[in-house]
Amino acid sequence: MELYLERGYEQTTVAEIAERAGLTERTFFRHFTDKREVLFGGSSALQELFAGAAAEAPDGATPIEAIAAALEAASEMFEGRREFACRRQSVIAANPELQERELIKLASLATAMAHALVRRGVSESAARLMAEAGIAVFRVAFDRWVDPHDELSLTQLIRESLGELRSQLVGS
């Protein structure tokens, strides 16, 4: 990660990453399939976390309450990893290919949450709508969280964004 920041993602080789981490290339490839994996390795775990928390929300929870539960579970996982998240964000912001990968990852998180809602009996279109809106809330909150000028916790920022979305929609 430090190397991505120092030299740029494109210019960093797996050999250099392994050397900096005190690993052989062989060991590197036992942990990661490629250098992109260093940034996106947690994607499937995150997907399970979002979908799992939405699925396990109490029976009487409305779709948006299930989504809120998923976002809170994710934010708990991220708290304490802010420094890594900030660095990762800088690397991604500097590389359009990684931004595309991040978009695709976020879309798959939305799909996973939508499936969890459908299994709760929510209609397909309402589920997609709520899941996409939930991811929008997550992204906006996450971007504020990794901003060095913002002091709130990710959980607080998620609640604030969700409240903002609600008041914007209701106010009209």
8 A C-beta contact, residue 53 and residue 70: yes
User: Which letter does DSSP use for residue 33 in this model?
Assistant: S
According to CB under 8 A, which one of 14, 21, 73, 165 is a site residue for a copy of itself? 165
- Alpha-carbon span 127 to 167, nearest angstrom: 20
User: Nearest distance from residue 25's CB to a copy of itself, in Å?
Assistant: 29
- Alpha-carbon span 72 to 27, nearest angstrom: 34
User: Nearest distance from residue 27's CB to a copy of itself, in Å?
Assistant: 31
Is 115 near a copy of itself (CB under 8 A)? Answer: no
Q: Which is nearer to a copy of itself, 2 or 65 (CB)?
A: 65
Residues with Cβ within 8 Å of 98's Cβ and at least 6 positions away in sequence, in order, are 9, 36, 39, 91, 92
According to CB under 8 A, which one of 128, 142, 145, 159 is a site residue for a copy of itself? 128
Interface ranges with a copy of itself (CB under 8 A): 62-65, 68, 100, 103-104, 107, 125-126, 128-130, 132-133, 135-137, 139-140, 143-144, 161, 164-166, 168-172
